[in-house]
Structure 1
């Protein structure tokens, strides 16, 4: 397959600015993601009309009027000689929009191979960035890549600004605007006042800020890994869930997700070179907090997730049944019941 060529690159600004959203504070959950990478998702479409790029730019500009943080940049305020605070400056600096073309690449070239083709990474903007780079780089990047028989829409959004739920909230809202809607069915909420016991702005020691900068500069690129997408039928997942519940001795308490992730964890450890069977292995679980927070608006725009870890020795993961591992996953889920606080 040939490479990707850039046709044009521009910054798309919101068609209208809302002065009420000039500054959006970052919460503790936002701040924890500063050194991680952004969220990247891609969508494949059949070949559209010739004017689709201009239409996307226009609808994106109108959508950004409802999502001013995505047209802004991260910024800091000096609170005193020793502390600073992070926030989103809704200055309408613009979102990155790239129009590109991949000659000779078809939709089947993307979806049919066993392993994800390396060219797919070239379909996304702002590659190699950390969320901290949002101080200078756009918080939202969109790349429209024309294929021989279709279009790939790649979106990159700063993870300190959105979680997965907010990411798709924006994409779905953009879709609404593109179809001619004037008002959004789910207007985003940016206020952080609903979080309890947080005194804004959050003070960050200046020494820690300098450490973040040093660590950001020292991050080394990892060698490229081969990526593969696995597809499980509804029937195979149901069968795996039934097996996990039988092995765990539970009355259908093991969910489909817990059964599938346990199966994955066991397969990975069995195929990984482990020096010691006593080595601890960990499964990181991302847990949505939106249903568990008091007074959080349904359409809150930001991060509302926290991480929890299931830890087991390599020997345990290798030798135990899927249901035994899933039971540990289920215990973690039960421990997360109830109302949470941010911190």
Structure 2
């Protein structure tokens, strides 16, 4: 490990040292070919996520030693992160697991307190300085580390962040590494979730992505004026919202019909059980015998909590934008394909295994219909995104290989990223769980939303909302939206 001299980077954050950390043991892993889910991310920024912690019960020297040693051991289990990109003579891009190492940055912000991060209305700009590789495009993994850790000591806490190449990991793989890193630092001898590095699925393609000279660039304005807020929703508020969304279909029925409706489509149920469930549903809602099973299925569709919340956000942001009602609005959701493919990928498959689901609606329809209508549009697209659709998307990309067009191109788009299912608070480095989770400036534009689990768990959700200033003001004054918000 080599250290640089101290360097003042801003009035608040001072870089104390910058080191290179390599795996504790040499890697024997073969080169890993980038997949049809990895390659499109070459034009996206590195993922930047991290946790805000209270002050650890140790001095600075011991803290940095523990975090560096833990990182070195963690890289032994995730050798791809210590490698670099190489493009062969045919144009295929690989990760070569050459143990070149990752960056480790030690910084201080002694005049910044935990309350300064949590209290303001908007996420303060200082948070962006807790991350390295700011606005770094993933293609640059050919020339620089694929990952960096920055540890920033605050007046009464510490912020631990990772910047990770988006063509190497999606959110599932990112948080598996972060969780593993934390458990190693707190003394766990055997990691609980080993990553799976196979490259033998349909995602590994013979198609070649041609990149422009100098490499791809992001497809959105990195410097547009934006506001960023964290809106928190308690479990009770989300259950209330879900109830309202499902009320039009289930108002006269016992709440358990939502669960039973799911069971009627469970492939593990036999025909007799399905028949009983259909009869129960028909009797419960006091309707005549449906003409087909499809009618029963439509009647019994349950809108999930997250789809309900997404529909609420879609409607309210659209209203706040005050655009022409005849204009179309697009809501994009990233979905995990690991369990959607047949055969399924390992849940801990390391890499990107995500696809983007766009749902399009005319703004006038979105605002004139009730919330259930918006939620149904999202629900249908998610339900339909099974094995056949995943494979169709792969084939479509192979016919026209390209990087991912991330951004809000017509002023009416929303992109939902991350997930409240990610174990963002399962990160105890030895002195307790994070107080909060935050992200850097990576991949942010008007309409970019990131979903985090609430710290209290139990189904609570935090939404990191990035909008144009005038749109954010409209959302803040929208009674339909704010009635469900517990805190900002």
Partner residue, 1:196: 202
Q: Does structure 1 residue 158 correspond to structure 2 residue 169?
A: no
Over 3 Å counting, the alpha-carbon distance change for 1:295 and 1:217 in structure 2 is closer
Any conservation in 1 of the 2:33–2:93 contact (CA below 8 Å)?
yes
How many angstroms apart in 1 are the aligned matches of 2:226 and 2:148? 24
- Residues 244-273 of structure 1 deviation map (CA, whole Å, 9 limit, x = unaligned): 112366546010011100000111011114
CA-CA distance at 1:185 after TM superposition = 1.9
Any conservation in 1 of the 2:86–2:95 contact (CA below 8 Å)?
yes
Partner residue, 2:83: 72
Any conservation in 1 of the 2:238–2:305 contact (CA below 8 Å)?
yes
Partner residue, 1:259: 308
Query: Which residue among 324, 336, 342 is the counterpart of 1:288?
Result: 336
Q: Does structure 1 residue 25 correspond to structure 2 residue 27?
A: no
Q: Secondary structure at the match of 1:324?
A: helix
- Residues 206-226 of structure 1 deviation map (CA, whole Å, 9 limit, x = unaligned): xx2226x36429975322411
How many angstroms apart in 1 are the aligned matches of 2:303 and 2:202? 33
Partner residue, 1:278: 326
Q: Does structure 1 residue 88 correspond to structure 2 residue 136?
A: no
Query: Which residue among 128, 143, 148 is the counterpart of 1:141?
Result: 148
- Residues 73-108 of structure 1 deviation map (CA, whole Å, 9 limit, x = unaligned): 1111112xxxx1101111111111100011210000
Any conservation in 1 of the 2:357–2:382 contact (CA below 8 Å)?
no
CA-CA distance at 1:312 after TM superposition = 0.5
CA-CA distance at 1:41 after TM superposition = 1.1
Any conservation in 1 of the 2:51–2:159 contact (CA below 8 Å)?
yes
Unpaired segments of 5 or more residues in structure 1? none
Aligned pairs, how many?
A: 331
CA RMSD of aligned residues (A): 2.0
How many angstroms apart in 2 are the aligned matches of 1:77 and 1:226? 42
Any conservation in 2 of the 1:247–1:321 contact (CA below 8 Å)?
no
The structure number with the bigger radius of gyration is: 2
Q: Secondary structure at the match of 2:196?
A: coil
Any conservation in 2 of the 1:18–1:68 contact (CA below 8 Å)?
yes
Query: Which residue among 6, 28, 46 is the counterpart of 1:38?
Result: 46
Over 3 Å counting, the alpha-carbon distance change for 1:269 and 1:197 in structure 2 is closer
TM-score, with length taken from structure 1: 0.91
Partner residue, 1:110: 117
Moved more, 1-10 or 167-176: 1-10
Any conservation in 2 of the 1:142–1:154 contact (CA below 8 Å)?
yes
Q: Secondary structure at the match of 2:149?
A: strand
How many angstroms apart in 1 are the aligned matches of 2:23 and 2:225? 36
How many angstroms apart in 1 are the aligned matches of 2:23 and 2:120? 39
Unpaired segments of 5 or more residues in structure 2? 1-9, 251-298, 396-488
Any conservation in 2 of the 1:248–1:324 contact (CA below 8 Å)?
no
Partner residue, 1:177: 184
How many angstroms apart in 2 are the aligned matches of 1:68 and 1:286? 26
Partner residue, 1:63: 74
Over 3 Å counting, the alpha-carbon distance change for 1:218 and 1:159 in structure 2 is closer
